[in-house]
Chains A and B, each alone.
Chain A
Amino acid sequence: MMSEQIKKFMYVNRRAPYGTIYAWESLEVVLIGAAFDQDVSLAFMDDGIYQLVKGQDTSEVEMKNFSPTYQALGDYDVTKLYVEKESLEERGLTLEDLMPLTYEDEDDDWAEKDSIRLVSRAELADIMDEQDVLFSF
């Protein structure tokens, strides 16, 4: 679906994956939005970091485990996932605790590259400042 203009869209994820539906319904917006050929990125900060933690098992609480969907984002050309360094550290987590998320770079002979980009709080503020549209979930 071609749009007349390209805008910078950022989806800001600040909440834990379970407990409320915000994270899951945010991901639904991202997947639908991917069809609109905009310049899309995602930011993960505060408890939103937990959305990307690997090894999620929701069977005991009978919630749908939607974490595998993040691994499909690369196929939707959603390849910029900014993870805020301070939020990780405040929760005693490192990049090693997150799912390995990658995409194939069509401009670089389809080389497999990391989608997750670790940025500081100050850097993320600058990136947010560059956006045209910010969705906060």
Chain B
Amino acid sequence: MKFAIQVNEGPYQHQATDSAYQFTKAALEAGHEIMRVFFYHDGVNNGTNLTTPPQDDRNVVNRWSELAKQHDLDMVVCVAAAQRRGIVDEGEMQRNGKDAQNIAEGFRISGLGQLIEAGIQSERLVVFGD
């Protein structure tokens, strides 16, 4: 099965991203395809490399980055939602005159068209959030 995943909530505040991660990992291990993971609303906060959770807790951001590396996952952060919430890559930094970037490894910033395309091209779009 060809899945697309949408994550609508940020890390730690909400378990949606944990569930999305577990689902994605399990689907990949079962031999399914994850064609894209799209981060929207506060979900874009999963893509910052500035988080420092306590050492005895899971590292939500690094966990996504590692999974992406292992499986060559396409993890997309919505640009409009990211601009509102301060998730910045090299291009956004230059375009908007910021003095820093914080996009975590394995994530890329792109448009909402990537979400619509995921809905069209996947067999199932699975949404995590309330």
**Pairwise interchain contact B116-A36, C-beta atoms closer than 8 A:** yes
The answer to whether the Cβ of A38 comes within 8 Å of any Cβ in the partner chain is yes
Residues of B within 8 A of A136 (CB): 127, 129
Q: Which residues of chain B (103-130) have a CB below 8 Å from chain A?
A: 111-113, 115-117, 119-120, 125, 127, 129
Residues of A within 8 A of B81 (CB): 25
**Pairwise interchain contact A25-B41, C-beta atoms closer than 8 A:** yes
The answer to whether the Cβ of B40 comes within 8 Å of any Cβ in the partner chain is yes
Known: A25-B81, A28-B80, A35-B113. A133 touches B119 (CB 8 A): yes
Q: Can you name the residue of chain A whose Cβ is closest to the Cβ of B125?
A: A133
The answer to whether the Cβ of A22 comes within 8 Å of any Cβ in the partner chain is yes
The answer to whether the Cβ of A7 comes within 8 Å of any Cβ in the partner chain is yes
B82 to chain A, nearest CB (A): 12
What residues make up the interface of A, taking CB atoms closer than 8 Å to B?
Answer: 3, 5, 7, 9, 21-22, 25, 28-29, 32-33, 35-36, 38, 132-136
What residues make up the interface of B, taking CB atoms closer than 8 Å to A?
Answer: 6, 40-41, 80-81, 111-113, 115-117, 119-120, 125, 127, 129
Report 5 cross-chain contacts, Cβ distance below 8 Å, ordered by A residue. Answer: A22-B41, A29-B40, A29-B112, A29-B115, A38-B119
A25-B81, A32-B113, A133-B125 given; 13 more Cβ-contact pairs under 8 Å: A3-B120, A7-B120, A21-B41, A25-B41, A28-B80, A29-B112, A32-B116, A33-B112, A35-B113, A36-B116, A38-B119, A133-B120, A136-B129
With the chains together, A90 CA to B73 CA distance in Å?
44
Residues of A within 8 A of B41 (CB): 21-22, 25
**Pairwise interchain contact A32-B111, C-beta atoms closer than 8 A:** yes
With the chains together, A28 CA to B113 CA distance in Å?
11
B76 to chain A, nearest CB (A): 13
Nearest first, the 7 A-B pairs at minimum CB distance are A32-B112, A133-B119, A33-B116, A36-B116, A133-B125, A3-B120, A29-B112
Residues of A within 8 A of B117 (CB): 36
A48 to chain B, nearest CB (A): 13
A55 to chain B, nearest CB (A): 27
**Pairwise interchain contact B116-A5, C-beta atoms closer than 8 A:** no
Known: A21-B41, A22-B41, A135-B127. A28 touches B116 (CB 8 A): no
Known: A22-B41, A29-B112, A29-B115. A5 touches B120 (CB 8 A): yes
Q: Can you name the residue of chain A whose Cβ is closest to the Cβ of B119?
A: A133
**Pairwise interchain contact A36-B120, C-beta atoms closer than 8 A:** yes
Q: Can you name the residue of chain B whose Cβ is closest to the Cβ of A34?
A: B116
With the chains together, A133 CA to B112 CA distance in Å?
15
